[in-house]
Amino acid sequence: MADELHTREQGLRVHHLANLGGLVAIAGLDREPPDLLLGGLLELAARLPDLPATRRTAIALAGRAKLDARATSKRAWKSWSRSKELHSLTLSSEHIRRIIGALNGDEPRNSAELPRMMLRLLGGETSDE
């Protein structure tokens, strides 16, 4: 029983930490290096207690607006993707190179062009946008 409770508590903690990571991503900070991100969070943690209540409220309202907008856009995306039978998929550059090779395509010189080339070969993109 204690193990089950411990496992449940661990699961709740992991879920909470994953949600915090999601907030970092929503704020657009997920591409920052870990040392800069942690330093910024430490600075925020040090300053937050000294902020006046009105400023804390304003910051919270901005966060709430972003969360609300994200929830709305997330629902719209889910609805659209279901209607199009889309699937979320993350591929590494190496995976894309393999797909291009399997389709007898020429690998672009610039690795940033890999997804566009793959889509062209799959018939999903025909023009340079």
| pLDDT of amino acid 125 | 62
C-alpha 55/C-alpha 10 separation (Å) is 34
| Lookup: tokens for 99 | 């797909």
What is the residue extent of each domain of the chain? 1-50, 52-86, 93-122
| pLDDT of amino acid 5 | 64
| pLDDT of amino acid 129 | 45
Q: If we measure between CA atoms, which residue out of 1, 5, 2, 25 comes closest to residue 13?
A: 5
| pLDDT of amino acid 127 | 53
| pLDDT of amino acid 98 | 94
DSSP for residue 30:
T
Give per-10-residue mean pLDDT for the chain (129 aa).
Answer: 68 87 90 95 95 95 91 82 80 93 92 91 67
First to last CA, the chain: 59
State the pTM of this model.
0.53
| pLDDT of amino acid 124 | 74
Using a CB cutoff of 8 Å and minimum separation of 24, what contacts does 68-74 make? 70/26
